[in-house]
Amino acid sequence: MNLVDRFLNYVKFDTQSDELTNMTPSTPGQMVFAQYLRDELTKMGLSDITLDDNGYLMATLPANTGGDIPTVGFIAHLDTSPDMSGRHVNPRIVSKYDGGDIVLNAAEGIVLSPAGFPELKDYVGQDLIVTDGNTLLGADDKAGIAEIVTAVDYLMQHPEIKHGKIRIAFNPDEEIGQGAHKFDVEHFGADWAYTMDGGAVGELEYENFNAAVARVTFNGRNVHPGYAKHKMINSMRIANQFVIMLPRWETPEHTEDYEGFYHLVSMEGTVEKSVLTYIIRDHDRDRFERRKKELEHLTRKINHEFPDCCSIEIKDQYYNMREKIEPVMHVVDYARQAMKLAGVEPKVQPIRGGTDGAQLSFKGLPCPNIFAGGLNFHGRYEFVPVPSMEKATKVIVEIARLVANGKK
């Protein structure tokens, strides 16, 4: 099976994750897909294939040459985003894209247009895989899975390419921030790894946000509004006061590159009780800590005006993997050189988000992120250029070859 056929097959598995189930994997479709992949890897002839009860699938491509060669891993995630349905994905290929509008769903008037998505112009003349407008595509991260499996298959069919031991892994629940939680790094046994989970061709990332979630609770007092003077405490109004105390320009819609932010992701309230949920993001660890302290400071200010009204709970989610990657920068150098050999110009940039690689790096497995090729993830306008997937596959092959040769 070739790369495109694999991908078109994989996206038809419904693997949307769900943070509310409190299970691993969070949805049964992920295990169904993992079992399918286990059978595929078995038929290919890989060794040390394991699939645990939590949906973590691992396998080995044995070395075909001697010497003290590091074991390198390649990782992708099974699940698709909860942001949009991944059920009954019906992809199609737009051959030799002409640069115009792509009608995804004529009946619903859903169009993928360069007017709204100017990056389309970068892929004129290429074959694009798109949705039918009703679901996301699932290139995040089934493109990564297809690329890893195809690259391993290619190495098996071309023994003249010398490589060391290669470990591959496919894990559940990345999209809900739990992909690395039960990843057995010791069992995986790689010296370092790469997540094939980036976006556009050329992306190479070893920096990400430090991240935390904050839950701010406001307790009020409800009294009949006709008799409420000096008695009622409206928790929603106090919550609103808290919101406007934060700097308005330090939000996602006003920041880019290395700029951090506070992001209000939900608000629920009645007169008696209101809850705000924020995510806090910053690449710089000191600024990240100051952001958390600022929320605590504002909580104290609210309580000074409305005693014992406000409480806050802050929980760290993940940290910037840069501090774990910088001491072993050769892992980035291998990826950078492999991209050049694959005809790709590396675009080293920070991730304005998180990745399983961040958590894995702090668990002892340095793990930069490499492009998988898709764009506009998590929605109906998601697409992936076929040449981008082909180049990602070649990057994997080149990394394996470079590491065996000890060159970077």
User: Are both 252 and 119 inside the same structural domain?
Assistant: no
Residue 407 has what pLDDT?
64
Verify cis geometry, omega within 30 degrees of 0, for the bond prior to 141.
yes
Which one from 140, 147, 173, 174 is the annotated catalytic residue?
Answer: 174
Q: Output the average pLDDT for the chain.
A: 96
Q: State which of 318, 337, 367 marks the end of a domain.
A: 318
CATH of the domain at 274: 3.30.70.360
Q: How many domains does the chain divide into?
A: 2
**Global pTM value:** 0.89
Q: State which of 257, 291, 318 marks the end of a domain.
A: 318
User: Are both 110 and 243 inside the same structural domain?
Assistant: no
CATH of the domain at 337: 3.40.630.10
User: Are both 285 and 368 inside the same structural domain?
Assistant: no
More confident call, 388 vs 407: 388
More confident call, 356 vs 34: 34
User: Are both 325 and 314 inside the same structural domain?
Assistant: no
User: Are both 12 and 140 inside the same structural domain?
Assistant: yes
Q: What is the pLDDT of residues 290-335, one digit of tens each?
A: 999 999 999 999 999 999 999 999 999 889 999 999 999 999 999 9
User: Are both 313 and 332 inside the same structural domain?
Assistant: no
Give 50-87 as a 3 state SS string. Answer: EECCCCCEEEEECCCCCCCCCCEEEEEECCECCCCCCC
127 flagged as catalytic: no
User: Are both 298 and 311 inside the same structural domain?
Assistant: yes
pLDDT at 275 over 70: yes
Compute the average pLDDT of residues 85-102: 97
Q: What is the pLDDT of residues 145-176, one digit of tens each?
A: 999 999 999 999 999 999 999 999 999 999 99
User: Are both 283 and 371 inside the same structural domain?
Assistant: no
Which one from 79, 153, 205, 356 is the annotated catalytic residue?
Answer: 79
Mode of pairing for the β-strands spanning 261-269 and 128-130:
unpaired
323 flagged as catalytic: no
Residue 177 has what pLDDT?
86
Which residues constitute the domain of residue 105? 3-207+321-405
pLDDT at 355 over 90: no
User: Are both 203 and 214 inside the same structural domain?
Assistant: no
